[in-house]
Amino acid sequence: MSKRTRIKDILSATPGQDHTVMGWVRTFRNNQFIALNDGSCLANLQIVVDFENEDPTLLKRITTGAAIKIDGELIASQGKGQTVELTAKNIEILGDCDPEVYPLQPKRHSLEFLREIAHLRFRTNTFSAIFRVRHTLAYAIHKFFNDRNFVYLHSPIITGSDAEGAGEMFQVTTLDLNNIPRTDEGDIHFKKDFFGKATNLTVSGQLEAELAALALCDVYTFGPTFRAENSNTTRHLAEFWMIEPEVAFNDLNDNMDLAEDMLKYLIQYVLDHCQEDLLFLEQRLVEEEKQKPQQDRSEMSLIEKLKFCLAHPFERLTYTEAIEILKNSTPNKKGKFQYPIEKWGADLQSEHERYLVEKHFKKPVILTNYPKEIKAFYMRLDEGEKTVRAMDVLFPGIGEIIGGSQREERYDVLLRRMEEMHIPAEEMSWFLDTRRFGTVPHAGFGLGFERLVLFVTGMTNIRDVIPFPRFPGNAEF
């Protein structure tokens, strides 16, 4: 096929030259004006058709959703809404689209309806904008770490360990489920399975990243992770992507600095490179919130919210300090919290996190030093052994966006914590070896990529910021 010019490029090109464009018809008005989109940008290119000299049969095939190729001359537009347009010299239908059955007609569609046709929703303005922003954020993540001399590590998707100790994992097996081999004791005979042991889809690349960091110093993973939680919420997925840096010789303060620097870099990068898409998503959010009561609407616009996170140093405080603030808060005293805060040791919920960010401090917050009972085994114990050097970064509208910690580098303490939390040391000998042989202080965190995309795009359902969402009862495509 002849070389095409992307619509993103042609819209800023100089009139007077011939171009070939290819894309999908959004609308065809008066048998004369085609609005063409190829996904390279939000805007459509107007194609002007000389309908009096075109084959009527061909014109009937130019319908919403049809894929076409146009050769023509770029000229300055005399009409409203565009600065340039293409006068068609030759039109070729690449793919017909029956308007009687094509579900994406030129009208407003609900997000619920578009989730049912996720294979086509990329063709809408909303989802093309979301996935261009998602791409930009993914690129910016790699650029951020590459510019700081981090090594990108591909951690395994199939693993024999549970990094979180949660047990909610997808099992991987090649055993015949209709004829499962059993041991003499009646247990599943995993020795006969493909890997000779029980294996699962990973919940985190952290433990493997620690192994690499204790040789390469600065590493990060960016890959898919899986949680078999039967959770049907707007914030949870069964398959999602995680960014997990791990840095040798870093402590909790270094970890907080890295997290804040990274988030601010990513937000600034998307503001610099996705202005058109962000403005569209901001307006979409305004229209959506008009359906809500005034008290439920966002106090800031989408772009104001992004700039808000750039403008303020993140507030840093301990879990203990946060509990006192929440216990004495008006919503807690008046019974407005769904989960009242009564005493130290409570596991904070999204409503508590958002109160701290949006009402109390009015800036992003980093909470540290959580009770050890509500955190993972690998987090470094503080003096007194009541708390661990954990940290959570909290953002407006979303709550926790990053979770991390300084890791427990002391062999004897880590071994004791594993025993307390019933994590089999013999299966984790490879992990313990890093504490036996040249251990060092180190720290890292995990950023749920979809939560970041959710925040940056202003969407409210995490299923709308990943191309093909996986959740209980759904594994389409």
Q: What is the structure's pLDDT at 166? A: 55
From start to end of 186-273, where are the E strands? 199-201, 218-226, 239-248
Q: What is the structure's pLDDT at 413? A: 97
Q: What is the structure's pLDDT at 253? A: 98
Whether 385 and 266 share a structural domain: yes
Residue among 467, 473, 377 at smallest CA distance from 416: 377
Whether 56 and 154 share a structural domain: no
Q: What is the structure's pLDDT at 78? A: 84
Whether 102 and 157 share a structural domain: no
Domain membership of residue 193 (yes or no) is no
pLDDT tens digit sequence for 126-148: 999 999 999 999 999 999 999 99
State which of 61, 77, 106 marks the end of a domain: 106
- Whichever domain contains 35, its CATH number is 2.40.50.140
Q: What is the structure's pLDDT at 106? A: 87
Domain membership of residue 477 (yes or no) is no
Q: What is the structure's pLDDT at 1? A: 62
Whether 268 and 410 share a structural domain: yes
Whether 300 and 442 share a structural domain: yes
Whether 270 and 321 share a structural domain: yes
193, two tokens: 């399975």
Q: What is the structure's pLDDT at 81? A: 81
Domain membership of residue 278 (yes or no) is yes
Q: What is the structure's pLDDT at 423? A: 87
Residue among 139, 132, 217 at smallest CA distance from 457: 132
Residue among 51, 32, 272, 13 at smallest CA distance from 140: 272
Say if CB 209 and CB 444 are below 8 A apart: yes
Domain membership of residue 111 (yes or no) is no
Gap between the Cα atoms of 34 and 28, Å rounded: 4
Whether 132 and 83 share a structural domain: no
The number of folded domains in the chain is: 2
Whether 11 and 40 share a structural domain: yes
- Please list the ranges in the chain whose pLDDT falls under 70: 1-2, 162-167
The parent domain of residue 215 ranges over 123-168+203-464
Whether 226 and 282 share a structural domain: yes
Domain membership of residue 354 (yes or no) is yes
Domain membership of residue 56 (yes or no) is yes
Whether 158 and 78 share a structural domain: no
Whether 286 and 329 share a structural domain: yes
- Whichever domain contains 454, its CATH number is 3.30.930.10
122, two tokens: 């990329």
Q: What is the structure's pLDDT at 94? A: 97
Domain membership of residue 186 (yes or no) is no
Whether 159 and 67 share a structural domain: no
Q: What is the structure's pLDDT at 19? A: 96
Domain membership of residue 415 (yes or no) is yes
